[in-house]
């Protein structure tokens, strides 16, 4: 081949390559879909997500992945080929597992200027706080008062007077279950004459029931949530669960049928994070900003029954009236949780289930 012909052939080959290679010689096609992986408890009012879709020209697909623990496990197992662009609902009990697996593409949202610093603690800049709630014991008011008094502290659950009354979630599979385990660790400690393990041995002897997730605990075993088909009047739930009992009551009620034990509650913070390897990382970051906006944050309390992370947003009156306000929740350093979570869950399993 002559030198001139060889040069012409090379130019033609490069032009052809540019024509069929994305990003070379042409603009990449912008994404038209955003996939959000979340837990089964995710809920939002009609029209809220549509606001984001219409303003960004995107179709938002909500992919529910089970309880928070199950959802995080799915995200970790599929990190090389992510199921979604954004993950919402990982909380401070499971966050270290997600951070260790490096599933997030760090992003610092502009909306964090309206979020208290303590909600961002331990995130390593990888995720953004969206809401928070306190995991607490709830009880059926009608089951107490005439004989046995309603429980007021964690120790009550180990009293024989409360035998067979409590249902909890498995900390290996459930976010509130893990939060409650952490509450008992923070309360009773690792060493000394009486530890969290001793407490759980007493709960097991007192016929505590363990189920895999919150839905089963609340709607199948708990006497209130199950419509009285369950037989457990004490459940691990949230300080805001009584709000839902009022909002969804049929016929309407002015007082919640459930009470909250504000002793031994654990504050749970939920985050959103852009998944590493996302097909639509730009829209995912924009959706994080949207989740901190007034449009989304105002919708949080009466749909997911947690407090908005944006401190400029005030929850509605019915929420404030019926939610139990926890002044001093049990706290554990995120680094301590990260270093000990797997061991604690295994030790809990050995004590309670074996």
Superfamily of domain 33-132+269-322: Periplasmic binding protein-like II (3.40.190.10)
What percentage of the chain exceeds 70 in pLDDT?
A: 92
How far is Cα 193 from Cα 198, in angstroms, rounded to an integer?
Answer: 9
Those residues whose C-beta lies under 8 Å from the C-beta of residue 108, and which sit 6 or more positions away, are 125, 128
Those residues whose C-beta lies under 8 Å from the C-beta of residue 261, and which sit 6 or more positions away, are 136, 137, 138, 139, 150, 151, 152, 153, 154, 156
Q: Domain map of the chain by residue range? A: 33-132+269-322, 134-267+325-352
134-267+325-352 adopts what CATH topology? D-Maltodextrin-Binding Protein; domain 2 (3.40.190)
User: What is the pLDDT at residue 93?
Assistant: 85
User: What is the pLDDT at residue 346?
Assistant: 98
3-class SS of residue 92: coil
Confidence check: pLDDT of 10 > 60:
no
Confidence of residue 18 (pLDDT cuts 50, 70, 90): very low
- Using the structure block, give the residue that is written with the tokens 């529910």: 64
- From 316, 135, 151, select the one nearest 218 (Cα to Cα): 135
More confident residue, 131 or 335: 131
How far is Cα 283 from Cα 280, in angstroms, rounded to an integer?
Answer: 6
What value does the mean pLDDT take over residues 343-354?
97
Q: Which of 5-9, 20-24, 213-217 is most confident?
A: 213-217
Mean pLDDT across the chain: 91
User: What is the pLDDT at residue 26?
Assistant: 54
| C-alpha dihedral, 139 to 174 to 292 to 126, nearest 10° | 150
Confidence of residue 96 (pLDDT cuts 50, 70, 90): confident
How far is Cα 47 from Cα 39, in angstroms, rounded to an integer?
Answer: 20
Confidence check: pLDDT of 9 > 50:
no
User: What is the pLDDT at residue 15?
Assistant: 37
User: What is the pLDDT at residue 27?
Assistant: 58
User: What is the pLDDT at residue 333?
Assistant: 81
Confidence check: pLDDT of 252 > 50:
yes
Bridge pairing between strands 258-274 and 86-91: antiparallel
User: What is the pLDDT at residue 169?
Assistant: 97
Strand partners, 131: 270, 308
Lowest mean pLDDT among 16-20, 42-46, 135-139, 253-257: 16-20
How far CA 9 is from CA of 3, 22, 26, 198, in Å, comes to 10, 22, 22, 80
Same fold, 33-132+269-322 and 134-267+325-352: yes
* Phi, psi dihedral angles at 337 (to 5 degrees): -60, -45
Confidence check: pLDDT of 190 > 50:
yes
User: What is the pLDDT at residue 67?
Assistant: 82
3-class SS of residue 235: strand
Confidence check: pLDDT of 1 > 80:
no
**Angle in degrees, 0-180, between the axes of helices 334-352 and 196-205, rounded to the nearest 10:** 30
- From 231, 224, 246, 237, select the one nearest 322 (Cα to Cα): 246
How do residues 304-332 score in pLDDT, each as one tens digit? 999 999 999 999 999 999 999 999 999 88
Confidence check: pLDDT of 245 > 70:
yes
What value does the mean pLDDT take over residues 113-133?
94
Which residue stretches of the chain are H helix?
A: 3-20, 48-56, 68-77, 95-100, 117-120, 175-188, 196-205, 214-216, 241-247, 281-291, 294-297, 301-304, 317-322, 334-352
- Max Cα–Cα distance, the chain, nearest Å: 104
Lowest mean pLDDT among 99-103, 105-109, 142-146: 142-146
Confidence check: pLDDT of 230 > 60:
yes
- From 270, 209, 196, 273, select the one nearest 238 (Cα to Cα): 270
pTM (2 decimals)? Answer: 0.83
């Amino acid at each position: 081949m002559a030198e001139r012909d060889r040069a012409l052939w090379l130019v033609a080959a490069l032009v052809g390559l540019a024509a069929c290679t994305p990003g070379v010689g042409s603009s990449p096609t912008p994404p038209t879909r955003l996939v959000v992986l979340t837990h089964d408890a995710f809920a939002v009012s009609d029209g809220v997500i549509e606001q984001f879709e219409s303003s960004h020209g995107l179709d938002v697909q909500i992919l529910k992945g089970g309880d928070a623990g199950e959802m995080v496990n799915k995200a970790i197992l599929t990190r090389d080929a992510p199921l979604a662009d954004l993950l919402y609902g990982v909380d401070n009990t499971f966050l270290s597992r997600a951070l260790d697996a490096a599933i997030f593409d760090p992003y610092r949202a502009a909306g964090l200027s309206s979020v208290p610093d303590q909600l961002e603690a331990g995130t390593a800049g990888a995720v953004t706080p969206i809401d928070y709630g306190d995991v607490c014991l709830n009880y059926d008011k009608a089951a107490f008062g005439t004989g046995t008094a309603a429980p007021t502290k964690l120790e009550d659950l180990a009293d024989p007077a409360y035998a067979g009354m409590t249902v909890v979630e498995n900390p290996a599979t459930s976010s509130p279950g893990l939060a409650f385990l952490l509450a008992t660790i923070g309360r009773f400690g690792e060493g000394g004459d009486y530890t969290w393990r001793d407490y759980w041995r007493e709960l097991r002897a007192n016929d505590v029931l363990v189920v895999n997730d919150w839905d089963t605990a609340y709607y199948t075993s708990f006497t209130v949530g199950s419509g009285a088909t369950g037989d457990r009047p004490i459940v691990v739930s949230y300080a805001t669960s009584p709000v839902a009992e009022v909002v969804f009551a049929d016929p309407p009620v002015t007082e919640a049928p459930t009470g909250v034990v504000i002793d031994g509650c654990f504050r749970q913070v939920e985050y959103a994070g852009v998944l590493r390897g996302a097909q639509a990382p730009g829209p995912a970051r924009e959706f994080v900003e949207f989740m901190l906006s007034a449009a989304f944050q105002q919708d949080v309390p009466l749909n997911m029954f947690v407090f908005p992370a944006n401190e400029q947003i005030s929850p509605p009156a019915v929420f404030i009236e019926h939610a139990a306000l926890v002044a001093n929740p049990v706290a554990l350093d995120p680094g301590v949780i990260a270093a000990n979570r797997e061991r604690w869950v295994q030790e809990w399993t050995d004590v309670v289930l074996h």
